[in-house]
Amino acid sequence: MTTSPTPPGGTWALGDTAVTRFGYGAMQLAGPGVMGPPADHDGALAVLRAAIEAGITHVDTSDAYGPGVTNDLIREALHPYGPDLLVATKVGAHRDAAGGWPTARRPEDLRRQVEANLERLGVDALGLVNLRMGDAAGPRDETLAEPFEALVGLQREGLVRHLGVSNVTSAQVDEARRIAPIVCVQNLYNLAHRHDDALVDALARDGIAYVPFFPLGGFSPLQSATLTRVAARLGRTPMAVALAWLLQRSPNVLLIPGTSSVAHLQENLAGASVPLAPADLAELDGIGAAATPPAPSA
Ligand SMILES: NC(=O)c1ccc[n+]([C@@H]2O[C@H](COP(=O)([O-])OP(=O)(O)OC[C@H]3O[C@@H](n4cnc5c(N)ncnc54)[C@H](OP(=O)(O)O)[C@@H]3O)[C@@H](O)[C@H]2O)c1
């Protein structure tokens, strides 16, 4: 019997479920604009299987990706799921024919989305569901009480094990926590987007995970002369160093980098273990200081 390798960063407990801090985000496996099937179906399955073979136990998805495409791929590649795998999904939007992401957060919308995830993933209960708020422009100053209470109801029915929130302000995190426990917050954050620095630290103090989406910059991967220089000095790729920085940012940071390439997945896994010295960290921190515009006013 072979034992799984441990990806860099070790593990973190999402509620009662230990996951590897280095996870995988499946969104990039759908077609262009996160619509339709991938150009390389077998290649997409190979990426998912390579992630599991590398020891990753946290895969992030949504039924809105494709729609239905990444969930179908996850089921085809990985079902029946190993006992250690946590597939995290999110609800709060659906897709229109033009590829838009209209919000869908009425209780009946959320039930439909949870049921669609259950069916496509082929499970009786979802390990983790994030309520996605706001829109593509970011979080909005709005209450999440009604949709979050609806999800808590689905959790009480046994359809969902753990809850999280996504694309939210600190005030919305507090509002959700007054309603029910959450195990994570999934927000936009990376070397160049550091609006959530204080939130990362506050959640760490309370044992709640912070899961950055777009950890590599998303649809416009990070480009920075400083990052390239530090990576060259360390003999790693810029993307791997961006992930190493996140792993070293705080122990509650969990990675869900996306890739449609087995080679990039392996390169990221291999490189993200690089230790960053104080001088490296100081240089890399300068990227955020230079790039992060003032937070939008509510
Ligand atoms: N909650 C939310 O609202 C929300 C929003 C967006 C995303 N998400 C989640 O966050 C996850 C991560 O976001 P993301 O995938 O959009 O962005 P990302 O992880 O920041 O970046 C992915 C991009 O980086 C490229 N890349 C990865 N490794 C690379 C390497 N070694 N060298 C060069 N390029 C590399 C990928 O291209 P290749 O395919 O060529 O490797 C892809 O274009 C998603 O999968 C999704 O699960 C959540």
pLDDT of 169-188, one tens digit each?
A: 999 999 999 999 999 999 99
Q: Residue 205 Cα, ligand 1 centroid: separation in angstroms?
A: 27
Q: How far apart are CA 92 and CA 26, in angstroms?
A: 18
Q: Residue 26 Cα, ligand 1 centroid: separation in angstroms?
A: 8
> Which of 65, 81, 189, 210 is an active site residue?
65
Q: How far apart are CA 230 and CA 216, in angstroms?
A: 16
Are 190 and 216 spatial neighbours (Cβ–Cβ below 8 Å)?
yes
Residue nearest to atom 41 of ligand 1 (CA): 259
Pocket of ligand 1 (CB under 6 A): 25-28, 60, 90, 132, 166-167, 186, 213-218, 221, 237, 239, 256-261, 264, 267-268
Nearest CA-CA partner of 256 in 125, 88, 94, 44: 88
Q: Tell me which H or E stretch contains 128.
A: strand 126-132
- pLDDT at 5 (0 to 100): 81
Q: Tell me which H or E stretch contains 188.
A: strand 184-188
Q: How far apart are CA 23 and CA 5, in angstroms?
A: 13
Alpha-carbon separation of residue 222 from 27, 34, 82, 127, 206 (angstroms)? 17, 19, 33, 31, 30
Q: Residue 2 Cα, ligand 1 centroid: separation in angstroms?
A: 30
pLDDT of residue 141 exceeding 50, the answer is yes
Domains and CATH numbers, the chain: 11-220+250-260 (3.20.20.100)
Q: How far apart are CA 77 and CA 136, in angstroms?
A: 29
pLDDT of residue 44 exceeding 90, the answer is yes
Omega of the bond leading into 67 within 30 degrees of 0 (cis)? yes
- pLDDT at 297 (0 to 100): 39
Q: What percent of the chain has pLDDT over 90?
A: 94
Residue 296 backbone phi and psi in degrees, to 5: -65, 140
What would you report as the CA-atom Rg of the chain, rounded to the nearest whole angstrom?
18
Residue nearest to atom 23 of ligand 1 (CA): 218
pLDDT of residue 293 exceeding 70, the answer is no
- pLDDT at 296 (0 to 100): 45
Total-model pTM: 0.96
Q: How far apart are CA 266 and CA 17, in angstroms?
A: 25
Residue nearest to atom 42 of ligand 1 (CA): 259
pLDDT of residue 295 exceeding 60, the answer is no
Q: Residue 49 Cα, ligand 1 centroid: separation in angstroms?
A: 17
Hey, what are 59's tokens?
């895969």
Nearest CA-CA partner of 269 in 240, 247, 242: 240
- pLDDT at 298 (0 to 100): 33
Annotation says 65 is catalytic: yes
- The atom number, within ligand 1, closest to the CA of 271 reads 31
Residue nearest to atom 45 of ligand 1 (CA): 25
- pLDDT at 189 (0 to 100): 98
pLDDT of residue 217 exceeding 80, the answer is yes
